[in-house]
Chain A
Amino acid sequence: MTIEAIQKELIDEFSMFDDWVQRYEYMIELGNSLPLIDEAVKTDDKLIKGCQSKVWLHADFNKDTILFTADSDAIITKGIIAILLRVFSNQKPEDIIAADTKFIDEIGLKEHLSPTRANGLVSMIKQLKLYALAYQVQLNK
């Protein structure tokens, strides 16, 4: 599935919810259900520090795509990570670089991606794109 198609799917999923409680319950469920990262790679060099919550991000390169795994100490942050990984993981580096995160606004979770929120998510997206860029350079060599 393309990044755009997954984003569309997420927007459709979230449009079913009537209020913020349902939206957040779903996000918490996503955060709880996904095995996000292998404990062995949850090392300090994979840690993105936020003042509010921590995020770990790990990338595995697999032929022409990147497989991301990630985790957080806060469950709501983890839920958003699950959403972001669904969009960005298993994609080609050039598509990851080109993709935006506007769909987050549309599913009503905009505030979590504010740079001032210090939950590590903004840095995570930046880091995710940097991995994609690095891998793309490697592939083109």
Chain B
Amino acid sequence: MAFDVQKIREDFPILQRKVNGYPLVYLDNAATTQKPQVVIDSIVDYYSNYNANIHRGVHSLSQEATDAFESARQKIQKHFNAKNPYEIIFTSGTTHGINMIASGFSGFIGKEDEIIVSAMEHHSNIVPWQMLCEKTGATLKVLPMNKEGVLLLSEYDKLLSEKTKLVFVNHISNALGTINPIEEIIFKAHKKGAAVLIDGAQACAHIIPDLQKLDVDFYVTSAHKMCGPTGIGMLYGKEKWLNKFPPYQGGGEMIKEVTFKKTTYADLPHKFEAGTPNIVGGIAFGVAVDYLNSVGFEAIKTYEEDLLNFATHKLLEIEGLKIFGTSTEKTSVISFNIKGIHAYDIGTIVDKLGIAVRTGHHCAQPIMDFYNIPGTVRASFAFYNTKEEVIKLVEAVEKAKMMLS
């Protein structure tokens, strides 16, 4: 099926609305993507037709809801090519998943140990490890990057040692769009006996990570960045790791047997899903995965690459505009500044023209410190954005520049 962006846009009701009197141009997809009608419908359908608590009821409604929730898990397992469905843990999102792993790992980290994180991490990726290091006395090492926003693998070789217990890198940088060479990062870490956690929040709307092929130990992502609802995400962990970890929270659903003397924990994945999960979220996450596959990841990749090249080229025609993150391997994210103008001012003016971009440090202050800037304007594109929208962005930035200089 040929890729027809106009037809795809019809799937997203929000793209029809106006903002400040102008048709919405939504270019903040790295923060969250919009939702297609099928995902919205699946949420309404669940609450209208088969809302029930799962896993415990013998009644039919509960069975229907349980089947839908568990088949979503299987769908996600197949999509990411995990070996087993129970290696997919539903979380509230990427941050939740990272904290679960940090918590699980705390029993396996000692004073002499080291954790490596990359220099281009989101705050949510830095803080849990700092906390873990404070608690255990372990050392946090930072894998540096160069001016193009590319990780320095030669430095990685120097940082890695037998002391390294965990390596944590995002698949794609939220602030720069760089696609990191995670295959090599994982391979090298494993040679030293270290486990690897990849944050795929920015990746999964653009590419399909093959979890078995990557041989990654942990992979986390959020549904809302891949056309699904907020408040639901995935933690993939290799069975051997998840079995070693103690439960993250106590509660219902995660137990096998409870007496006042001892509780036996449930098997995977329920051991990590205490309490009533986000049932509708899990189901809608599955629908979002189906939707993206129906559009086709190959088609998405080709289309977005073309859009990124077009936007990069057009934006660079603006005098004084500088792009941060110029790796040859990047997704459709453009972080930029105009000489002498604050990102906040540009964001404010383009918003008045109906264009949604992100401004600020994108929760990645270390990156901003690296470039010695307070922040950037970030335009992040999805497969439903068009070249016409890119032109509107360029015109709006030109107008902002004119007003502000």
Contact = CB atoms under 8 A, between A and B. Distances in A.
Contact of B344 (A24, A25, A28, A52): A52
Nearest to A75: B345
Given A25-B403, A28-B404, A77 B344 contact: yes
Contacts of B352: 20-21, 24
Contacts of A129: none
Interface residues of B, number: 17
How big is the A interface, by class?
10 to 19
A53 B344 contact: yes
Nearest to B342: A74
A72 to B, nearest CB: 8
A73 interface: yes
Contacts of B360: 51-52, 118
Nearest to B375: A52
A74 B344 contact: yes
Interface string A45-71: 000000111100000000000000000
Interface string B334-350: 00000001111101110
18 contacts: A21-B352, A24-B348, A24-B349, A24-B403, A25-B403, A28-B403, A28-B404, A52-B344, A52-B359, A52-B375, A53-B342, A53-B374, A54-B374, A74-B345, A75-B345, A75-B404, A76-B348, A77-B344
Interface of A: 20-21, 24-25, 28, 51-54, 73-77, 118-119
Given A53-B342, A54-B374, A76-B344, 19 more contacts: A20-B352, A21-B352, A24-B348, A24-B403, A25-B403, A28-B404, A51-B360, A51-B361, A52-B344, A52-B347, A52-B375, A53-B374, A73-B374, A74-B342, A74-B343, A75-B341, A75-B404, A76-B349, A77-B345
